[in-house]
Amino acid sequence: MIIPTIDIRIGNYSFNAVNDVEIKRSNREIATSAIIKLPSTAVLRRGDQPPAKVETAQQFVEGDIVEIKMGYSGTNHTEFYGFVSNINQTTPVEIECEDFMYLLRQKQIQKSYENTTLKEALNDIINQVVWADNGLPREMTLSNDIQVIDIDNFLLASDEGEAVSRARALQHIKDTYGIAVYFNLDGELYAGLQYTQQLGTVIYGFGRNIIKEDDLRFVNADTRQIQIKAVNIKPDGTRTEVIVGDETGSSRTIFFWDVATEVQLKKLAQNELEKYKFDGYEGVLEAFLLPRAIPGMLAEIRNEVYPEKEGTYYIDSVQIKYGMNGARRFVEIGQRLTS
């Protein structure tokens, strides 16, 4: 019998039974979060010691390393790696967790640049952010795919020039340049245009591994009401904007860097509009834990009844729910890549 299974490590403790676990990961947000719900008393194993019944909330502290592995019949894979950010002594006990953004909240930065690059600024943010896991030192790293962006007169500090948390500085970069910024499970930081990283392909089929499609619908291109706001950012931070598309449509903001003229910017905006004007699915599909899927992967959706509706889509976000009623992966699809 194939059943969902889980292994959780928090600090020195490990266990394989919970009330509920929820993990949220999106390419629109920097941080990945998790909430673990446990009984107020539970049987936990500490290191190599025999399992013992303990008061749950008293065993963990903020900053403890958290690793959550899930799968089927004991074959589990890491779905979350991070740190305890808060403990709510409720019934059941709620343990709030955050990925590597937690470490960036503990350190500050105060730096200004006349001429730099995105990669250099990011390197300063993660510089010397280290932690130890089972006695082994680890540190944050930068992806090899960091977007090439030149920056002039940029400040990583408060408006008054005072030091800010490195998490706030990273969020400032994301907001300023409209880029996707996120960590992988190993603490590697990526920053660049959304939909440029392709981390693999997962196949979903109606009547096969899609459990529910209640929140997934097929929309024709001519009925999609989309408005594109194209924002051009110069190295000195100045901005120009053009808007194309349907006045009453849902709005998407797309960022560009150092486009020479407004005419070119408008052409780029029209190209983006065409990408969103497609016949295809939108929304969220409910699936099993396997196959594994994360934001940045492609979802190939197959439909044997209506093959003309098949296509490949970027995955925007993933939510995982594990509990006494089973385990599910909720996959939000975004822009269509191919037909």
* Per-residue burial over 268-286, b = 16 or more CB atoms within 10 Å of its CB, e = otherwise: bbeebbeebbbbbbbebbb
| CATH T-level topology, domain 105-192 | Phage tail protein beta-alpha-beta fold (3.55.50)
The enclosing H or E element of 150 equals strand 150-156
Segment 19-24 mean pLDDT: 97
Determine the Cα–Cα distance for residues 23 and 229; give it in Å rounded to an integer: 31
Q: Tell me the pLDDT tens digit for each residue of 238-252.
A: 889 999 988 887 888
- Helix (H/G/I), strand (E/B), else coil: 119: helix
Which residues have C-beta within 8 Å of that of residue 120, sequence separation ≥ 6? 113
- Which of 4-8, 39-43, 169-173, 330-334 is predicted with the least confidence, judged by mean pLDDT? 39-43
Closest to 263 in 3D by CA, of 230, 235, 236, 233:
230
H or E stretch covering 258: none
| Position 237 pLDDT exceeds 80 | no
DSSP output for 223-255: G--EEEEEEEE-TTS-EEEEEEE-TTSEEEEEE
My answer on whether omega of the bond before 295 falls inside 30° of 0, hence cis, is no
Predicted local confidence at residue 93, as pLDDT: 94
- How many Cα atoms are found within 13 Å in the side-chain-facing hemisphere of 34? 27
pLDDT for 158 equals: 86
pLDDT at 335: 87
Predicted local distance difference test score (pLDDT) of residue 175: 87
Per-residue model confidence as pLDDT tens digits over 49-84: 888 788 888 999 999 999 999 999 999 999 999 999
Say which amino acid occupies 282: E
Q: Is the domain defined by 4-102 classed in CATH 2.40.10?
A: yes
Name the packing angle between helices 118-126 and 166-177 (round to 10°).
160
Q: Where are the chain's structural domains?
A: 4-102, 105-192, 201-316
pLDDT at 309 over 90: no
**Which pLDDT score, from 0 to 100, does residue 196 have?**
83
Residue 43 confidence (pLDDT) above 80: no
Q: What is residue 248's predicted lDDT score, i.e. its pLDDT?
A: 81
- The 10 Å Cβ neighbour count of residue 48 is 5
**Is the whole-model pTM more than 0.85?**
yes
The pLDDT value given to residue 338? 59
Structure token pair of residue 21: 């676990």
